[in-house]
Structure 1
Amino acid sequence: MSWNQFEYSTNNGKPLTLYEFVHNEQKYYRYTNADRDVEFNNVIWFSEAISNTGLSIGSGNNLEITLPSNNDVVRLFRGVPPTKPVVIRMYQLHESSNDFKVIWIGKIQEVKRESIEKAKLITASVASSFERNGLRLTYGRSCPYALYDHNCRIRQENYKTSNIEIMALDGANITVNLSGFNSGYFSGGYMEFYIDGIQELRGLKVHENNTIGILGGTQGLSKGMRINLYPGCDKTIRTCNEKFNNHLNYGGQPHIPGVSPFTIVKLF
């Protein structure tokens, strides 16, 4: 029987929903609302107390998924959330059929702890990203580009400081051995590290001697861990030239006059 025949049958239909969570395109978490584990597409989907608010026309782009609070996906969002969004794919099929439908694709926006035993995932569909207003580039003295992006054109690999060991940490800052670097060199930059083989990034605040402040705190880091550091930029043409020798790609307009031509100046 086809999927439609099972779907509209009053006796033969045994609908199942499969939930696939993808972390950084590397690690997969697969669950089903069935009362036992299900083998589908040559992988095992584990039985879990999982449910959603349902899909309907006019319900908007949000979908809420409820999971046990000790679920591995929920644990990803304890403290500092993952660097990259966790993607969700939902499938619907019938137990006796190989046909399936993809009913939802989206990303987790946030996780709410509703009670001791339950957590709610707040998601947004892929279609919602098409409804956002586009960014418009405006003129200003400082550079509007993100450091290391396609407009900035700086190759971050050329400024990578590799295999730095964390000597100590206090929840907000880490202490490392940075001999040869002036204070402030890494301010506004970012760090790269790996947890279970998955890349994570974290922004850097103030760099003072061998101490660096970490945006979001030091959760997930540990003494002895090896990290990679990338310097930051304060968006001025002086830093762009002296630190990165990249002033030809500077996106700001440092010579804009101090008085706007649209400002009314009373002469009398």
Structure 2
Amino acid sequence: MARSELYQFKHGDKQWFFTSARKAITHNEITYYPVRGLSRGNIEDADIDKCEVELTFPHPYPLFNDADDSFTQVFLNKIYLESVYFTLIELDAGESLVLFKGRVTQPKFSDRENTMTLVCSTAESFMRRKILTRKYQRTCPNTIYDKHCGLDFNEWSFDVTVTSVNGLDVAYMVNPTQVKDEFGNPVFEQVPVLDEQGQPVLDDLGSPIFEDGDPMMEIKSYPDNWLNRGVLKKDGVFTFIINGGSNSARLYRQHIGLKLGDVVRVAPGCDQSLKMCHEKFNNHKRFGGHPNMPTENPLENQLIK
């Protein structure tokens, strides 16, 4: 078997598998599909802080997975929250070796050469980057639902069914959810326990005994602005919601693959103020801003003369 290279890509829950070989290759029960014109540059690892490789795909070119998800379309819009992870495998005589593992950091399109070039970097390059640290500011620097914010996305989000998609505007219908009591426990219909004769079974006090039946469901309602600066999640990919109306939301960018009838999860957002953090989420103890900081620098205009 000739030496060949396998290309794995992962974006949220979606995956794509390609190869630069002329024919499809099956490895570890995964089929890698050939892409004519797929090539890569040398793996640049001049120092320990940086390791990159550039992949070149023909463009336009039909790049799809088994679920008919377009690979190229992921890079036609700004990637938000979820990166595209890449693994390069060399296959030789049935033996495999991982040559590179990282994520796509920059897509580049060339209309002159009809190519799409993906710049991929390893984790070391991200760890050594010089980035802006947390600032001394009035508003909260945390991103909602991250480890610093502390809010649980699964607890605050809810299921909706998409009823229309018009560009960046998405309309939806809130799905029924199970009723919970004051302690947060799910509520079920209470069904009396019957004996063999169909008579209610009584406890020691002579009262009927009940058991849980079907869950009690309800359709909750939310204020028009509840989803402002929130997020929409589908297939493991998050998209920022600019603002929300009555059963509608406007997205920051197009969510790849979002279509009529999809059931997705949406969660409310925050304007990073202490007031909203407290009143909307009761999460003021984790607020990371400094709302009472002075408006003027005391070192410049409050020195004692």
Normalising by structure 1, we get a TM-score of 0.77
Counterpart selection for 2:10 from 15, 22, 37: 22
Counterpart selection for 1:52 from 28, 32, 40: 40
Amino acid at match of 1:63: V
- Determine if contact 1:171/1:219 at 8 Å carries over to the other structure: no
- Determine if contact 1:148/1:156 at 8 Å carries over to the other structure: yes
Q: Which residue of 2 aligns with 1:36?
A: 23
Question: Does residue 1:65 correspond to 2:64, yes or no?
Answer: no
Supply the distance in 1 between the matched residues of 2:11 and 2:291 (Cα, whole angstroms).
41
Supply the distance in 2 between the matched residues of 1:266 and 1:82 (Cα, whole angstroms).
46
Q: Which residue of 2 aligns with 1:188?
A: 229
Counterpart selection for 2:163 from 162, 167, 177: 167
- Determine if contact 2:88/2:101 at 8 Å carries over to the other structure: yes
Aligned partner of residue 97 in structure 2, secondary structure: strand
Q: Which residue of 2 aligns with 1:125?
A: 122
Amino acid at match of 1:154: L
Supply the distance in 1 between the matched residues of 2:24 and 2:163 (Cα, whole angstroms).
44
The number of aligned residues is: 248
- Structure 2, unmatched stretches of 5+, are 65-70, 175-219
Deviation at 1:215, TM superposition (A): 0.8
- Determine if contact 2:231/2:239 at 8 Å carries over to the other structure: yes
Supply the distance in 2 between the matched residues of 1:219 and 1:16 (Cα, whole angstroms).
31
Supply the distance in 1 between the matched residues of 2:222 and 2:25 (Cα, whole angstroms).
55
Counterpart selection for 1:89 from 73, 87, 98: 87
Normalising by structure 2, we get a TM-score of 0.69
Residue deviations 1:128-159 (CA, integer Å, cap 9, x gap):
11221255333222111111222222223332
Greater C-alpha radius of gyration: 2
Aligned partner of residue 72 in structure 2, secondary structure: helix
Q: Cα RMSD over matched residues?
A: 3.1
Q: Which residue of 2 aligns with 1:77?
A: 75
Q: Which residue of 1 aligns with 2:279?
A: 242
Q: Which residue of 1 aligns with 2:196?
A: none
Residue deviations 1:184-215 (CA, integer Å, cap 9, x gap):
2211111123xxxx323211112233432111
Q: Which residue of 1 aligns with 2:250?
A: 213
Aligned partner of residue 262 in structure 1, secondary structure: helix
Amino acid at match of 1:101: L
